[in-house]
Structure 1
Amino acid sequence: MSKFGELINAHVPVLIDFYTDWNESSQSMNPVIKDVAAALGDKAKVIKIDVDKNQELAEALRIKGLPTLMIYKEGQMKWRQSGELDANTLINLVQEQI
């Protein structure tokens, strides 16, 4: 959990994709997340967290649906949504926090 605190305290926006390998919607988000990361470059961090390997964190954040996407900046959650989104929408949401 302390590592998560370090991740979200960045001065740039941090987009987090909570996923599992067995969830179809999570899998279909993989290329979208890669596109978002490429488009944003060093203006933001893009991180994927496997909820199966991080169950304590997933429970603490009350993650129910997959994928769950969150944007943090300087330790504060700025946005959260469960379900699939397209790359342009995610890029715009992150850019609002830059």
Structure 2
Amino acid sequence: MGAVSDVTDETFDAVVLKSDKPVVVDYWADWCGPCKQVGPIIEELADQHGDKVTFVKMDTNTNPVTPANNHVLGLPTIQVYVGGEVVKAFKGAKSKSTLLKALEEYL
């Protein structure tokens, strides 16, 4: 079981790129309405599958470098990293079933 932890520009490499497990990164901002819809879904997935996949969120207001470096052009954006590389990416609010289907090979 795992809660969603915050990741910053400073911790991104260590937490996401060097992780032994797949990592789901939720890029969000407090002004983003759809981000508020996705947040609880990510929390739920983390509670159910946090033993196999790491779930983190990044506030793009306070961490502008990493989203720019990773081609995050809209919010919410969800990226799945495996071995330090983006293997899947989603822009916009997605349903729990869509995210589960995208993650099923890692669960």
Q: TM-score, normalised by structure 1?
A: 0.89
Structure 1 unaligned segments of length 5 or more: list them: none
In 2, Cα distance between equivalents of 1:94 and 1:7: 19
| RMSD, aligned CA | 1.5
* 4+ runs deviating over 4 angstroms: none
2:45 is matched with which residue: 32, 36, 40?
36
Is 1:94 the counterpart of 2:103? The answer is yes
Q: Which amino acid aligns with 1:64?
A: L
**TM-fit CA distance, 1:18:** 0.1
Structure 2 unaligned segments of length 5 or more: list them: 1-8
**TM-fit CA distance, 1:89:** 2.0
Matches within 5 A, 1:1-98: 1=9, 3-8=11-16, 9-98=18-107
The structure with the largest helix share of the pair is: 1
Q: TM-score, normalised by structure 2?
A: 0.82
Count of aligned pairs? 98
